[in-house]
Every structure is written in structure tokens, then in C-alpha cells.
Amino acid sequence: MSRVKIIAGNWKLNGNKALVDEFNHTFNQTTFEHVSVMIFPPALYVNEFNCEHLTIGVQNVSEQTSGAFTGELSVDMLNDMGITHTLIGHSERRDIYNETNELIAAKVAQAIAVNITPVLCIGESLETRNAGNVYQFIQSQLDSVIEVVGITGLAKCVIAYEPIWAIGTGVTASPEQAQEVHRFIRDYLGSIDEVVAESLSILYGGSVNAKTASELFVQPDIDGGLVGGASLKKEEFLTICHAANQRG
Ligand code: PEP
């Protein structure tokens, strides 16, 4: 089955109007036949993008609908402004802002209820990997979402497998290490619903760069990448998009 290939750039707390303009300029002149390209800039900049070849999303969304929640954005606001995608559960949200599996599941439920697509981030720490608990850990992150939205709800997400030890460290998981976990995710979901498992796009994230992209994207269960640092460098990000497009 051919799944949607995605390259998504997570700008985190980086970027500015000049970088948005650079991306608008470059991507207005570039199309990718086999890859959907997404950017998750800081929320303030989402409406500064004016390129129809880019899908723009936000990096986080509230589990609340409205009210006294200073600093939050609701899924209805995203809809109102034509935003179709949001990251949910990035490891920086989990670790720095103490977001739990339960909170993340509630955010996913909010998003899919109004047809916003969550890019659900999961992934283990080095400690968990060294203890030999990768699969157990990943399964529990998936289960906590499935418990709330069911497998049909999870089917509306994109999954991003991002081992924490590879995020922002310059240490990319080897293609074999990444493929092994992607295969596990697909097999586990397949034990619940084969059709969903085969159709879900599972992205790899963690120090993807122009050098490592091709060998990652050739893996059968890797459907693209969630890219942090390298998504701030227009040329390198383009190279990564081309690498995924070739695997189309
Ligand atoms: C990320 O923040 O999702 C990420 C993968 O970052 P980096 O590519 O910089 O490791």
C-alpha cells in the first residue's frame, strides 16, 4: 500500500519573519510530486506563510475548548484560521512542560473531533533504550491514546517516532534502529487493525539531516521525517524533501 509521504519541519522557538519569507519564496517555486511538506513554526507566524505547496501547522494545542487558560490555543481557533495540523506530545512538551500520556490523549481527542490532524510524537529516552524497554514504552504511549480515541481515532493521526536521545543531539538513529521501531509500531497497530496499520504514515524524527535522510527514507516503514534543526536551513531542508520525494 502506498502511504502519504511527509516531511515536516518543527521550528520550535526559532525563526522569524525573514525566514518565513525565504520559505515562501523558495517553496512557491518548488513542488514535490510524492511528498507533502509541512512547517510547524511558532504560532505567531502561521498566517505569514503564503505558499500553497506548504501545509502549515502549530506546535501544540490545548486540551481545553475555551475560557481562562492564558497562553493556550484551541482546536476551534485552528479551524477558524484554516490550520489543519498540529504537533501533539513532542518530547519537549512531555519533558519540559510535564505533559502526560493522559493529557496528550485528551489533546488528540480534541483535535480529531474537529478534523484537525495531530502529528502524534512518541519515543523513548536513552535510559529506556538501555534498559531494553523500547517496545513496552512505545506501546504504552500508543495505548494511552487508543484508550481514549480508539484505533479509528488513531487512524486520523500521523505518528512521529522520535527517540529522545536523537533529538537535537546530532546523533541520528541508524536506519536499522529506526526501521525496527517503525516496524514494531506498524505490527502492534496491525494486531488491532491491519488496515489502519498499513495506511498510517509513520515519520522518523531525531537529527535528520541532508546526509542521513536518504538512507532513512528508503526503509519500508519510514514514511518521511519530522525535522527540527535542519528545517531552519532552507537548502538542507529542501535536500531532505528531495530525498523523500525520490522514494515516492
Ligand atoms: C524535533 O524537534 O522534532 C527534532 C526531530 O529535532 P532535530 O531534528 O533537531 O533532532
Name the maximum alpha-carbon separation found in the chain: 47
What is the 104 CA–ligand 1 centroid distance (Å)?
19
CATH of 5-246, one of 3.40.50.1000, 3.30.420.10, 3.20.20.70, 3.40.50.720: 3.20.20.70
90 Cα nearest atom in ligand 1: 3
pLDDT digits (tens, 9 = 90+) for 233-247: 999 999 999 999 996
| Cα-Cα end-to-end distance for the chain | 12
What is the 66 CA–ligand 1 centroid distance (Å)?
30
Which pLDDT score is estimated for 244? 97
Which pLDDT score is estimated for 77? 98
In one letter, which amino acid is 82?
G
Mean pLDDT computed over 174-201: 98
Query: Helices marked H in the chain — which ranges?
Result: 17-28, 75-80, 91-96, 101-113, 126-130, 134-154, 175-190, 194-199, 213-217, 234-246
Dihedral Cα 64, 66, 70, 75, nearest 10 deg: 60
User: Is residue 168 pLDDT above 90, yes or no?
Assistant: yes
The residue annotated as part of the active site, out of 63, 92, 124, 162, is 162
Rounded distance between C-alpha atoms, residue 135 and residue 40, angstroms: 28
Nearest Cα residue to 34 out of 56, 57, 55, 4: 4
What is the 193 CA–ligand 1 centroid distance (Å)?
29
* Ranges of each domain in the chain: 5-246
pLDDT digits (tens, 9 = 90+) for 111-128: 999 999 999 999 999 999
List, in sequence order, every residue forming a beta bridge with 156; answer none if it has no partner.
none
Which pLDDT score is estimated for 247? 66
CB-based contacts of 97, cutoff 8 Å, min separation 6? none
Determine whether 25 is an active site residue.
no
Mean pLDDT computed over 80-84: 97
Nearest Cα residue to 134 out of 91, 98, 90, 180: 180
Which pLDDT score is estimated for 2? 76
Residue 84 grid coordinates: 489543519
Read off φ and ψ for residue 63, nearest 5 degrees. Answer: -85, -5
User: Is residue 1 pLDDT above 80, yes or no?
Assistant: no
Determine whether 90 is an active site residue.
yes
Mean pLDDT computed over 55-83: 98
Residue 161 grid coordinates: 517516532
What is the 229 CA–ligand 1 centroid distance (Å)?
6
Q: What's the DSSP call for residue 43?
A: G
Rounded distance between C-alpha atoms, residue 61 and residue 159, angstroms: 16
- CB of 178 shorter than 6 A to ligand 1: no
- CB of 228 shorter than 6 A to ligand 1: yes
